[in-house]
Amino acid sequence: MKILLLKCGDICYDGVVIMLRNILKYMDKTGMEIWLYANGRVADEEIAGEFSNMGIILVTGGQDGLDDEKTSADIRRLCRAERFDIVHCNTGNNRFSGIALLAARAGGNAVRIAHSHNTNGADKTYSAKANAFRRINRELAHVHLACSASAADHLFGAGCKHIIIRNGIDTAHFKYDEKIRNEIRSALGIPDDTILIGNIGKMINQKNQEFLLNVMSVLKKRQIASRLMILGEGALRKMLELQISSLGLMDEVLLPGNIDDIAPYLNAMDVFAMPSVFEGLPVAAVEAQAAGLPVILSDVISRETDLTGNVTFLSLEEGWEKWADSILEASKRKREDTAIRVLEKGFDIRHTASGLRKMYIKIYDKRKGRI
């Protein structure tokens, strides 16, 4: 069975790449030859190496943005040369998905899967062009997958029949551990009486991390002992560093960069905050809940993200002061072992990987006339 996975952008530490990495790590790949095409570049050699070590054949387009013609030509060429059985497009980008599905159809007769990993946030309006791509995604995909109902609506339009694929994690790995918490806080120089607020995500406009810096400024003015730690890298790092300097937060904000194993750092945190302007169902928020953290999310994020009852949804329009109040309130909650709740909701990576493998096999058997 030959499978082509498609991904918009670079091979880097973003949500789709991490999700694909995790699924493939735990999937039984016996009888499968899996390729991964990204239209961007290899921006992180380490994670690219992880795919290679799993036997995944990695192909990149070398683009800085989304070049429709080159992306289409790349996918067409791959499909014609390799004669894939399944083409599985993973994105929240309507345009990329539509281009990819059109190219896959032109390049062969593979079964086409469209998998939505994102939304457009509070903006529920779509341009005529975006709606045209949504129609393509709905009509050209044989199978419609999504991480949440809102993500499905975003890529396919309301009312399209779809299957939810949970953004699973290794729940046991993220279980709260007091000893690890103390070790990491000690290494970071975080006193016991200091609130450590955490955020994980690529430093791009979508993640809206500059909002959290303003929230930190509010806490500093209130003389609240607190720190903010943002795990990730991205194009906006320099801008965030300038904002940290202008707000006088050099001693309050930590930017460790990309961390391969974030579980110990989640143990060290007291509150997890994500003021994104749009998301599908963020893996980082699932991981934070498995680690027993109280979580504060912008209200554009799907309510399906609340797996533990320990999630607060806030509008960004309520402002920095309200977010500061909510962080303080959340930091007073007793830390609980909530990994089992995340597992019971079906968000374990082994379940996700096994379910996707079964789907691939069913599609392949049907394609070969076995069922």
Q: Does one domain contain both 79 and 124?
A: yes
CA distance 61 to 99: 14
Q: Are residues 152 and 118 in the same domain?
A: yes
155 and 249 share one domain: no
Structural domain total, the chain: 2
Alpha-carbon span 212 to 218, nearest angstrom: 10
pLDDT at 319 over 90: yes
Condensed to tens digits (0 to 9), the pLDDT of residues 11-61 reads: 998 989 999 999 999 999 999 999 999 999 999 999 999 999 999 999 999
Query: Do 156 and 19 belong to one domain?
Result: yes
Q: Is the pLDDT of residue 125 over 70?
A: no
pLDDT in tens, 199-227: 999 999 999 999 999 999 999 999 999 99
pTM of the predicted model as reported, rounded to 2 decimal places: 0.90
Q: Is the pLDDT of residue 64 over 90?
A: no
In a domain, 219, yes or no: yes
| 266 close to 231: Cβ distance less than 8 angstroms | no
Asked whether residue 160 falls in the same domain as residue 185, the answer is no
For residues 349 and 170, the answer to whether their CB atoms sit within 8 Å is yes
Say what the pLDDT of residue 123 is. 46
Task: Tell me, yes or no, whether 34 and 150 share the same domain.
Answer: yes
Please check whether residue 212 lies inside any domain of the structure.
Answer: yes
Q: Are residues 80 and 224 in the same domain?
A: no
**Whether 197 and 87 share a structural domain:** no
* Domain ranges, residue 74: 2-168+348-367
Distance CA 220, CA 273 (A): 17
pLDDT band at 124 (very low <50, low <70, confident <90, very high): low
* Cα three-residue angle 194-198-201, rounded to 5 degrees: 160
Task: Give the mean pLDDT of 151-163.
Answer: 94
The mean predicted confidence, pLDDT, of the chain is 95
* pLDDT of the residue at 130: 84
Work out the pLDDT band at 122, boundaries 50, 70, 90: very low
- How far apart (Å, rounded) are the C-alpha atoms in residues 58 and 78? 12
- pLDDT higher than 70, residue 126: no
The domain spanning residue 217 has which CATH number?
3.40.50.2000
For residue 63, name the pLDDT band (cuts at 50, 70, 90): confident
Instruction: Flag whether 173 is in a domain.
Output: no
Nearest one of 122, 96, 93, 94 to 302, comparing CA atoms: 122
Residue 256 has pLDDT above 50, yes or no: yes
What's the pLDDT at 169?
Answer: 96
Residues in the chain: 371
Q: Are residues 139 and 202 in the same domain?
A: no
Measured distance CA(164)–CA(149) in Å, rounded: 7
Q: How large is the average pLDDT for residues 184-188? A: 97
Per DSSP, the three-state class of 45 is helix
